[in-house]
Amino acid sequence: MFVHDAQQLSQLPWRVESTVVARTHRSGFASGVPSLHAFVPRRCWRGFSKARSGWCKMTIISENSSQVLATTRQNDNGTVDCVVITPDNKCVCLSSGKKVAIHNAQTGRKEYILSEASKVVTLCCNDTMRLIIYLSNGMRIEHDLSTNTALECRDLQEQHLLAAFEDKESRVIFIVCDSEELCVPIIKKVTMNVGREITKQLVGNESFKMPKIHSLKQLTLSGQFMAACEDLFVRTYLFESGITRAYKFTGKEEFNGVRSCFISVRAFHSVSLIAVLSFGRVLVWDNVIRQLRTPTQCVHWHRLAPSVILTPQGAIISGGVEGVIVKYAAHGSRTGSTADSFLSRLGAAISHLEISEDGSLLVAALLDNTVVMVLLSTMAVYSRLETLQRPIGTRRFALTVDPLMPHLVVHNGRPGCIQWINPCTMLTTAMLDVVSQNLPEVIQPQPPILAPHIDVSAVALSETTIMTAEQRVGDEIEMHVVKFWRRNTADLSSLEFSIPYESGIRFARSSDTSNYTFASIDTANKVVIWERYVDEEYSRWAPTQCIGWKGLRITAATQICDGGLATIHEWNGKCSRRSTLVVWRLTSGQRIREEVFHDSTNKLSTVEWCAPPRQHILIACSTTEALAFDTHTLVFKWCALHANLMLGICTNSSIAYDDAEVIVLDEEIGVEKYTVELHDKVTSIVGTNAGEFSSFLLANSEGYVSFTCDNDETLERSEGRQKGGRTPFARLMDRTR
């Protein structure tokens, strides 16, 4: 018997001996009989099981085979690789991966983005409006910033370029190339004439042996010398004379628990050199052409190796894991090597510093991808560049939607903060400091390892209130706080109420029928309802209801839709693959009640409501398939044989994804509207709708990826698939006649 209609499905006897399952091409979504139990009221549902024999599997290649929607893809790997300021101090150029962003230095606004064919390894700006870009495939591109056009493109014929340096005075180019020998790069001097002829010459001689390096920070070049550091040694090679020199640090082998070794070197003003030790000490030589014995200056303020630059006047600027910029006076001044001024509380550890040509402006790139412009004369923040911040350490909650600003996505920011992200522009538009705690101590910058601290574990938003949950991470100290924030405007919130909590909160959800009702699910596997009341003119929040379900662990929860909340409960012991799906009904002024439950012999992993107007349909995914249930009629809608799917949140469509692709579903008949291929493993996904465009923001281990598509194109494809109202099962019946 073939079933292709939900009405026919409801007329079937409950015990089904054999089932025909249809699959569409690639994704496997089809309308038909599900392989798990149907939704039955809790008093009637008992013991129905899937027939393991008699399965007739047929693969259907749909008439409109799986189509990938043409989208605009934006990647953000979350790290600022190179920074340069134009000589007129009007523009700041940042590179991240294959992209270069051009910002206005005064306002911080992003002007435009350049997309290159390969990874950007170096940025140079020897002219006011001319940017030079070096790519890892050996290409050198000159770009006009005023007209946003490429002026010249030359191939340096190096397929593994690591870095490049252009001396502003001599116009000599030095390139760093990968070598066959591990950790030993090759340095070449490049000469380009007007006839586009390129000549390359190896740098070094038999007396200078390039040390093994693990980071390009251990190597620096200037117009007159080259320097590299390894372990306790700093070695220099003078280009003109061919003389090699070495300096060895003879201090303590360990300082404050950190093993002593040189981390980075950097050349300035053609003859000056800075070397940084692992425990934060900075050594400066004013002229390495003369000698490399005793450092001219020695300063020490930071706990770990900072990023350091030298101003044209000889002052030292350093920024470290404390999130503090320290300025030291030039050598020979009245204050000597004493810290002259500070700029603190930048919000995150400082990973990179750059200075303008005249020494008036400083660019500080932070560990969370924030970029700050600093006016050195007053040591004050000049501007903040528009960037997309990235969470430091482990992300505590999935991407979340905001009912007040549906075009934005909410996620973790730096520790103790949440941020609002615009998927269309890939920029952080707002931040909320949730935790009233100082910046957590950074044990290791890359990869980031933080000392025990308090972070945001869950967040839920309504149009008037934000609920946040805090917990201490990194040690066994129990500390849990629930806070409620009053939303004064779209981008401004103030703390309204704070209360300690007995256990950690894993999920937080806001009611879609009341702005003052929230639900939380804690590590004790209890569903708690929070409501607001006014007591003597003061607003207070309190847990009004608390309920559990057989003491089982809750592994997933939906958003609250039309007062309905669905949770997945995992059984322990011998039934390790057994799980139960429970639908709760939340009504204002009434007790939360269990409405329906569903037992599954396949382990359920995720569940979510469909997008309006089909928000009464519930999609659940297991290790073998995905099912759609109608909670109004208590019948199945469709089944898909697709293993290990995860579900996202979207305002106008249902989204499923796995390691290979994102699938936008038609919730009514269970076929895909379109797909988007993935290159990285996704941890969560949210879809937003901003006017004529739909955007999807994907979070992965490296950063974020967004897809933007035209709603008109999506609608045309959806109508084409539903033309004639024929489902994949209707085509199945045609083929079997």
Give the model's confidence band at 338: pLDDT under 50 very low, under 70 low, under 90 confident, else very high.
low
> Of residues 186 and 462, which shows the higher confidence score?
462
d(C-alpha 274, C-alpha 326), whole Å = 15
Give the model's confidence band at 180: pLDDT under 50 very low, under 70 low, under 90 confident, else very high.
low
> Structure pTM?
0.82
What is the pLDDT at residue 386? Answer: 93
Nearest alpha carbon to residue 118 among 81, 93, 72:
81
Amino acid occupying residue 368: D
Mean pLDDT, to the nearest integer, of 425-431?
90
Mean pLDDT, to the nearest integer, of 6-13?
35
What is the pLDDT at residue 333? Answer: 61
For 60-112, give the DSSP string.
---SS---B---EEEEE-S---EEEE-TTSSEEEEEETTEEEEEETTT--EEE
How many helical (H) and strand (E) elements, i.e. helices and strands, does the chain have? Answer: 3, 64
> Of residues 733 and 197, which shows the higher confidence score?
197
CATH for 409-428+504-519+546-736? 2.130.10
Rg (CA), the chain: 30
> Of residues 441 and 375, which shows the higher confidence score?
375
Mean pLDDT, to the nearest integer, of 519-526?
94
pLDDT over threshold 80, residue 730 = no
pLDDT over threshold 70, residue 35 = no
> Of residues 46 and 69, which shows the higher confidence score?
69
**What is the phi/psi pair of residue 422, to 5°?**
-95, 110
Give the model's confidence band at 56: pLDDT under 50 very low, under 70 low, under 90 confident, else very high.
very low
Confirm whether 79-203 and 409-428+504-519+546-736 share one CATH topology.
yes
What is the pLDDT at residue 41? Answer: 34
Beta bridge partners of 640: 29, 626
Question: Considering only 34-48, 68-82, 134-148, which range has the smallest mean pLDDT?
Answer: 34-48
What is the pLDDT at residue 9? Answer: 33
pLDDT over threshold 50, residue 538 = yes
Provide the strand spans (E) within 288-396.
297-300, 307-310, 316-319, 325-328, 339-343, 350-355, 361-366, 371-375, 380-384
Mean pLDDT, to the nearest integer, of 317-321?
94
Q: Cβ of 118: how many Cβ atoms within 10 Å?
A: 15
pLDDT over threshold 90, residue 219 = yes
pLDDT over threshold 90, residue 184 = no
What is the pLDDT at residue 60? Answer: 23
What is the pLDDT at residue 42? Answer: 32
d(C-alpha 648, C-alpha 653), whole Å = 10
pLDDT over threshold 60, residue 726 = no
What is the pLDDT at residue 733? Answer: 31
Q: Average pLDDT, whole number, for the chain? A: 81
What is the pLDDT at residue 705? Answer: 87
Question: Considering only 47-51, 285-289, 464-468, 604-608, which range has the smallest mean pLDDT?
Answer: 47-51
Give the model's confidence band at 491: pLDDT under 50 very low, under 70 low, under 90 confident, else very high.
low
Q: SS3 for 450?
A: strand
pLDDT digits (tens, 9 = 90+) for 230-252: 999 999 999 888 899 999 999 88
What is the pLDDT at residue 10? Answer: 37
What is the pLDDT at residue 664? Answer: 86
- Cβ contact 318:311 at 8 Å: no
Yes or no: domain 79-203 corresponds to CATH 3.30.390.50:
no
> Of residues 727 and 628, which shows the higher confidence score?
628
Give the model's confidence band at 711: pLDDT under 50 very low, under 70 low, under 90 confident, else very high.
low
pLDDT over threshold 50, residue 269 = yes
User: What percent of the chain is modeled with pLDDT above 90?
Assistant: 45
> Which run of H or E residues covers position 721?
helix 711-721
Mean pLDDT, to the nearest integer, of 7-15?
33
- Cβ contact 189:172 at 8 Å: yes
What is the pLDDT at residue 336? Answer: 54
pLDDT over threshold 90, residue 27 = no
> For the chain, what is the largest distance between any 2 Cα atoms, rounded to a whole number of angstroms?
98
First-to-final CA distance of the chain: 13
**Domain boundaries along the sequence of the chain:** 79-203, 409-428+504-519+546-736
Give the model's confidence band at 76: pLDDT under 50 very low, under 70 low, under 90 confident, else very high.
low
Mean pLDDT, to the nearest integer, of 601-606?
88
User: What percent of the chain is modeled with pLDDT above 70?
Assistant: 81
What is the pLDDT at residue 443? Answer: 84
pLDDT over threshold 70, residue 257 = yes
pLDDT over threshold 80, residue 66 = no
pLDDT over threshold 80, residue 13 = no
What is the pLDDT at residue 639? Answer: 87
**Max mean pLDDT range (17-21, 39-43, 674-678):** 674-678
163: which 2 tokens?
């870095």
pLDDT digits (tens, 9 = 90+) for 361-384: 999 999 989 999 999 999 999 999
pLDDT over threshold 50, residue 28 = no
Mean pLDDT, to the nearest integer, of 633-655?
87
